[in-house]
Structure 1
Amino acid sequence: MTRQAKAPSTSRHSATFIVSFIIQQLAFVQTCTAVTVYYQAGQKPLGGTATDTGVAARYTGAAAYNPTTLNPPPPPGPDALPTQFAMQFSNAVPPGASIPQSGAFFGFSIEMSVVNQVLGKNSSFIQVPFLNLMANLQQRSGRINIRVGGNTQERATLVENTTDGRIIEKDLAGIINPTQTPPLVFTPELLQLLRNISNLVNVRWYLGVPFNDTSNFRLAIAERGQQILGDYLIGLQAGNEPDLYVDHGHRPQGYGPYDYFGEFGMLVQAMAGDEHLVNRGLLIGPNVNSGPWSPEMVWNTGFVDAYANNLAYLAVEHYPTDNCYAQYGVGTPRDPQETFPNYLNHTAGQTLIAPYLNSSAYAQTKGKPLLMFETNSASCGGFVGISDSFGAALWGLDYGMQMAYSNFSGALFHIGGQNVYYNPFTPEALGPSNTTQVLDMSANNNNIYSPVYGIYEHGNLVRALLFNYVTDSTGASDLNVELNLSGTQVSGEVQVKYLLASSVSQKGNFTWAGQTFGGMFDSDGRPIGTESVQTISCTSQSCTIHVPAPGAALVFLYPSSRSDTAGAPSQTFSTSARTNTHNTATVDPSVLATSNGHSGMDNKLGSTSEGSVSSAETRYELFIGSALSLVLSVVAGWALILGLT
């Protein structure tokens, strides 16, 4: 059933976002019968093997709920993974550690066209699972930063009312670009929805100014955004992936960094002449993708110096690869089974970050925070069997910590629609102190399967995060890591929380300190089960930590470093309304349009990611139950260890 939030009498604001609320969001499915929804072709793996072959063979539903499970890679053997090694930690922050990081480092990027599916139908109908998850995070991590935008923001127009009364309408007849992203109209009710969420939990918002018509900037979203959201509005994106504008037909051939520089200046000028804008220093740029421009090409125009007073953040967007062939039949075919191992080692995150190390250093010289404004496991919707697996949880955790270590100041994992396999997360190893510094320890002679991070707060070592990427049920690949903590104040023991699953290919039911968000259709946004925190005895400030294969271990050196409720008091939101719970749902395909708003468009399908084009539309029957279906697959583990303490 779908539920509506009823505001509590009091609320404390603090949160960092975790994702797995999709599981509960689909819980109502069990009470409903089938309705027709739409998806894009090509959702079966090229070479993947399903654990439950019967289910996989029959499955014809949306990518977010695809049960296909891949085979985990075999253990690499003792030569490739020494299972016993020692780590020497110092109490003081060593050279090479990151800049201080916020507890809100990890957040969400939500495609504008699916906000009414993810957050709520309107300002008075907010999703309870979403709020429960926010409350669960706010008690641990401080606050949540969420971007509402993406490619669908580029042609969005604010109107006072829509013909059908919804907060968003998609102009399916007005599609003119090759990525088949429909123009949007939205009402101030959408912004009021965001504000009402922030009244309940401490969510801060990034929005975007439409950038398709630079001769007549539509500044209403900035004007009303500031009026309605106030201090909860923390940034305005100016141009989404401008380096892909030519490829997507949004600018003529020859459009380059200096052209974007000029258009950004035109926006600054337009905002300067708008008396309704109180804060003109919220812009975010250049938001380049891993396309034909490098960030340095924009820096070299003098962009940052010219617009320093207007720039709140510098930002880039990046995905490790694409899966456009499976979704749209174009580009390079990629076999998920063969691709899976690429996500299951420490070099995956390091490789993603390497092109941006110069930019993160440059941003510091200019006094500007650098954001990874949009990312996930693969563009064009991710990979079946990879993007919603435990292996992706480990990859996301490692990648996120690598971004923090490399001096990004925030990272947003993207949500597109129910026809995508990937899903976002928010880390919690960072904690709510906003003084956290991260150091990649180059553990086990830089072994790619067993990375270790040191985590410092207020200048002192407080936690260590250990990984094991290998799947091995025999125990032969379990790690035993000796932590030498001389010089610290560790007495006779430390405490450990484990992120665990039976295999890197497992879907759902990941456990974090013995608790889980469950499997698909199981969760209401709150962890279930009894928390289990392990106590490890130490001798002469030496502690041996066991890390199962696969798994991750977060080691708390002191009781005070396990501040489970440091962000805000625990809170659960109640229900005040329900939708139909019988097989009476009739769903307009336009309501269920997903993934950047382009599904169900009369055989005109495409993607806003580079390299995709239109493809054929396919209908299928799926137990959804109402138009209010959320748009994420399940990676509960990402939510659990990242950012929660």
Structure 2
Amino acid sequence: MDEWGRLSSQLATNPAYTNHQILMGPSTCCESSNADWTAMGLIGAGYLQRFASELKIITVQRYPDNNCELNGAENPQLLFANYLSHAQLSEHAAEYIEFSRAVQAAGKPLYMFETNTAACGGFPGISDSFGAGLWATDWALKLATINFSSTLLHVGGQGDYYNPFTPPPTNQSTFRQWTTGSVYYTALITAELFGKSGKSRIIDLNANGGENLTPGYVVYEDDQPTRVLLINYVDDASGGHDIIARIQIGGGDTLQPASSPPQVRVKYFEAPSVSFKGNMTWAGQTLGNHFESDGRLKGDEVIHTIQCNAETNQCSVPLKAPSLALIFLTDEALQNSSPPQDATASFETSFRTRVRHTATIDQAVLSTSNDRGGSNGHRVGSTSFGSIGNGVIGLGVPGMGALVGLFMGAIMVMNFRG
């Protein structure tokens, strides 16, 4: 606290800083790491009140496990089930409920500033698996239900297993040789679930009677349900644990009349098993296998249209084991989660697309055009194709199988308020 006080005083008295509210903190971890340095302990010590003028964002970090080998190497096979449990990650998230309320009362946003499957690079066979993508999505959404504004997945070096993306192991200059991890799909899925309105609110549905392996969430915009996300953690490619989720707006114990849209649109996140690595698909598209990615989805997007039953006021959505479904309750919700029609297309170079090539530039041109004067040069924006119009703005201060096995061919009925 005193160290923070000295730093904040230096910022406040430095004429070079016109915006003094630029700090993030305290970035505490779980209580087991340091019993004397906890989020609630700092709240009690007056951290939020003392540094309210300097703090822009309140941050914490959390890993459910670690591969640091402090007490010997862990066996990932014995740990995998922990990442297929909605109940376990919900217990971890619940530890922040009281802290979140205090942060909200202070008028600050709360970020999970660093997280991933396991500290020290993750576990082989878990952190780079399809199951990790399901877990990361569930974890991020559960945190959102207790007012976390953002969840940031840690990226490590080339030898780390939990990376959203990893560069080629050498300085190769050809394209499509990156590796995209399963948790990168989490970023795509959660972005589409919340949409672009900035009005999204999320609720844990406690789906299927709170069943551990089949969680679900609903997003509201302007007090109307717009999107539903369902997960089936069960690892059974035989179809014996596939689920039919019957979605109904109102009805049940909501004290509202039952209704349903005429149809819903559905995107699936799919792979043959939870341990699968590589060509998993989001809405029929993939970022490729190991050493195949250039950061763009490949293949045609597949959006399923499911007709709803006007008599029962229910929409029956199939959910394979394992898989994730993002359900758009209206076409407007789908549109608000999709890129605009006039979005800039990306190509392997600024001029043309080739299957394989190396981008080149005339050396004489390079020698007279590169650098632009270092930190004192002209701020012309981003080098990313299609983003010049936004790049200059970016240079300023940035804005911030057990129980389900009893229900073979199970049916979930979910009612939520309209």
TM-score (norm. length: structure 1): 0.47
How far is 1:389 from its partner?
0.2
Paired position in structure 2 for 1:516: 286
Paired position in structure 1 for 2:163: 423
Question: Where do 1:163-562 residues align within 5 Å?
Answer: 261-290=1-30, 291-292=33-34, 293-325=37-69, 330-424=70-164, 425=184, 426=187, 427-428=190-191, 429-486=193-250, 490-540=260-310, 541-562=313-334
Q: State, as a whole percentage, how many aligned pairs show the same letter.
A: 39
How far is 1:532 from its partner?
1.0
How far is 1:560 from its partner?
0.4
CA distance in 1, matches of 2:342, 2:106: 33
Residue 437 of structure 1 aligns with an amino acid whose one-letter code is: R
Contact 2:57 2:110 in 1 (8 A): yes
Give the structure, 1 or 2, with the largest relative contact order (CA under 8 Å, sep 6 or more): 1
SS of structure 1 residue aligned to 2:142: helix
How far is 1:324 from its partner?
1.2
Contact 1:432 1:567 in 2 (8 A): no
CA distance in 2, matches of 1:572, 1:367: 39
Contact 1:497 1:513 in 2 (8 A): yes
CA distance in 1, matches of 2:299, 2:282: 10
SS of structure 2 residue aligned to 1:530: coil
Residue 544 of structure 1 aligns with an amino acid whose one-letter code is: S
How far is 1:490 from its partner?
4.3
Residue 535 of structure 1 aligns with an amino acid whose one-letter code is: T
Contact 2:259 2:314 in 1 (8 A): no
Residue 285 of structure 1 aligns with an amino acid whose one-letter code is: G
SS of structure 2 residue aligned to 1:383: coil
Contact 1:348 1:399 in 2 (8 A): no
SS of structure 2 residue aligned to 1:409: strand
The RMSD of aligned alpha carbons is 1.9
How far is 1:565 from its partner?
1.6
Deviations 1:210-260, CA, capped at 9 Å, x for gaps: xxxxxxxxxxxxxxxxxxxxxxxxxxxxxxxxxxxxxxxxxxxxxxxxxxx
Gaps of 5+ in 1: 1-260, 581-645
Q: Does 1:569 align with 2:309?
A: no
How far is 1:547 from its partner?
0.2
Residue 291 of structure 2 aligns with an amino acid whose one-letter code is: F
CA distance in 1, matches of 2:118, 2:317: 33
Change (3 A) 1:489 1:561: farther
CA distance in 2, matches of 1:288, 1:579: 44
Residue 526 of structure 1 aligns with an amino acid whose one-letter code is: R
CA distance in 1, matches of 2:27, 2:342: 33
Paired position in structure 1 for 2:412: none
Contact 2:248 2:260 in 1 (8 A): no
Contact 1:318 1:372 in 2 (8 A): yes
Contact 2:270 2:324 in 1 (8 A): yes
How far is 1:469 from its partner?
0.2
CA distance in 2, matches of 1:305, 1:460: 36
SS of structure 2 residue aligned to 1:575: coil
Paired position in structure 2 for 1:243: none
How far is 1:352 from its partner?
2.1
Paired position in structure 2 for 1:114: none
CA distance in 2, matches of 1:488, 1:481: 16
How far is 1:306 from its partner?
1.2
Contact 1:490 1:558 in 2 (8 A): no
CA distance in 2, matches of 1:300, 1:557: 44
Paired position in structure 1 for 2:383: none
How far is 1:574 from its partner?
4.6
SS of structure 2 residue aligned to 1:498: strand
How far is 1:561 from its partner?
0.3
Change (3 A) 1:277 1:489: farther
